[in-house]
């Protein structure tokens, strides 16, 4: 019996997601457990990331390995973030050691823990730990004709630049009379056709949430998996390149409804290096989804103290059952049953329990749930604060978080929540 037949719908869904993801990225996907449903993190099977400051230690540890572990010397195939982060391609391992197993051996040989890491896969509002790799649900049809949460009244402040780093942009939504709040939004065309791919419309939907929350924004959607490449995911080493490109738009706020778990739950060295070499020098705030694992384990970059991690609330103000909590969620906002812009087309569900169901989208709108959609609420509120007060991004972030209410949720503990109405 295959493991896809074992367990409940949650385990089967995790297995569906991971196998679909592997198929979309042939030869580039591995995970840390035997059964797909039990995975914690996903990584490239032949790559490793090393901080430039730790290259000497890495080379010494490689030299100290027992002969026969590696068939050749690891080689650098990319120098990222001004050479502060190096990406190595690993040679064949004689006994078939995985990247995590090789890291264990290198650390035994003297490499400091955390100096090197797998090149983890970052996925759209992802998950792990036997949970999810994507939004809490697949998109659903809706008969509603107005966004929910609704469009805020337009203020009198200056326009604020927001970049949504995501799956790309659906250009027809920007001129569609059914979604007028998306006028003048721009981005990398995700190349939708009548048959919608998994994760199609994700970036467009998020741009809609930002615009509804903060109409005085100039929104650009930076695409990291255009045309379905990557199956909604991107490697850490490629994501920091996308974030660098996002900075070319001079954003005050970046929304990233994506992230990853990591080996041993160590901080992502790719995101940490991006912050240290780029983001901390700028008047810009990164807002990230906390993830949909129902877990307190750190989810990066949301778990960094310099990033605003956002968990999901249901409409009754309780933490959504899928939402991560703890260190990855600085604040919680509505994430359940958002309604916003979505491409017209036919979508075939890929995940248990809805696998094979056909959904037809013909209203320019969809209903969707997940921490993916909590994050742009907070990103929009920060942008709105910048516009109305003319303040720095950091001051706007602090002001928005200061308006959150301290509450307690059974099973989660003390939390900070932003309740509707938001304006």
Looking at residue 132, its pLDDT comes to 53
How is residue 256 written in tokens?
């990233």
Looking at residue 328, its pLDDT comes to 97
Sign of CA dihedral 186, 192, 196, 199: negative
Rounded to two decimals, the pTM is 0.94
Among 45-54, 180-189, 405-414, the least confident range: 405-414
Q: What is the mean pLDDT of residues 113-132?
A: 74
Task: Please give the Cα distance from 253 to 25 (Å, whole number).
Answer: 30
List of residues 6+ apart from 328 with CB closer than 8 A: 259, 290, 291, 296, 297, 298, 299, 302, 303, 309, 311
Looking at residue 67, its pLDDT comes to 81
Task: Please give the Cα distance from 267 to 114 (Å, whole number).
Answer: 8
Sequence ranges of the chain with CATH classification 3.30.70.80: 3-122
Percent of the chain beyond pLDDT 70? 94
pLDDT tens profile 218-238: 999 999 875 555 567 899 999
Class of domain 160-417: alpha beta
Task: Please give the Cα distance from 194 to 361 (Å, whole number).
Answer: 10
For 312, the enclosing helix (H) or strand (E) is: strand 308-313
Sequence ranges of the chain with CATH classification 3.40.50.200: 160-417
Q: What kind of architecture, by CATH, is found in domain 3-122?
A: 2-Layer Sandwich (3.30)
Looking at residue 27, its pLDDT comes to 77
Report the Cα–Cα distance between both ends of the chain, in Å, rounded: 54
């Amino acid at each position: 019996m295959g493991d896809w037949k074992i367990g409940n719908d949650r385990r089967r869904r995790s297995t569906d997601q991971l196998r679909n993801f592997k198929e979309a990225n042939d030869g580039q996907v591995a995970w840390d457990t035997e059964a797909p449903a039990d995975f914690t993190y996903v990584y490239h099977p032949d790559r490793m990331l090393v901080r430039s400051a730790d290259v000497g230690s890495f080379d010494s540890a490689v030299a100290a390995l027992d002969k026969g572990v590696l068939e050749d010397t690891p080689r650098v195939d990319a120098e990222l973030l001004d050479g502060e982060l190096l990406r190595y391609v690993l040679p064949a391992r004689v006994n078939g050691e995985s990247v995590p197993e090789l890291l264990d051996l290198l650390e035994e040989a003297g490499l400091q823990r955390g100096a090197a890491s797998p090149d983890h896969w970052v996925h759209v509002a992802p998950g792990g730990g036997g949970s999810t790799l994507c939004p809490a649900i697949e998109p659903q049809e809706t008969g509603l004709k107005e966004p929910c949460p609704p469009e805020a009244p337009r203020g009198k402040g200056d326009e604020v630049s927001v970049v949504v780093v995501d799956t790309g942009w659906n250009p027809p939504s920007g001129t569609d009379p059914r979604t007028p709040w998306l006028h003048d939004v721009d981005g990398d065309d995700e190349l939708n056709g009548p048959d919608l791919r998994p994760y199609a419309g994700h970036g467009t939907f998020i741009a809609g949430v930002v615009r509804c929350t903060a109409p005085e924004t100039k929104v650009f959607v930076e695409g990291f998996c255009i045309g379905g490449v990557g199956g909604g995911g991107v490697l850490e080493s490629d994501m920091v390149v996308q974030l660098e490109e996002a900075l070319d738009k001079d954003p005050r706020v970046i929304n990233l409804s994506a992230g990853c778990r990591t080996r041993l739950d160590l901080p992502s060295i790719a995101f940490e290096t991006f912050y240290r070499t780029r983001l901390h020098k700028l008047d810009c705030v990164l807002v990230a989804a906390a993830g949909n694992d129902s877990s307190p384990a750190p989810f990066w970059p949301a778990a960094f103290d310099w990033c605003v991690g956002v968990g999901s609330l249901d409409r009754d103000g309780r933490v959504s059952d899928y939402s991560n909590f703890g260190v990855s969620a600085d604040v919680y906002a509505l994430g359940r049953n958002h309604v916003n812009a979505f491409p017209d087309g036919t979508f075939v569900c890929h995940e248990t329990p809805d696998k094979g169901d056909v959904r037809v989208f013909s209203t320019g709108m969809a209903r969707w749930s997940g921490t993916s959609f909590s994050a742009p609420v907070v990103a929009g509120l920060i942008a709105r604060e910048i516009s109305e007060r003319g303040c720095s991004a950091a001051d706007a972030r602090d002001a928005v978080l200061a308006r959150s209410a301290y509450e307690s949720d059974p099973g989660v503990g003390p939390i900070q929540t932003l309740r509707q109405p938001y304006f």
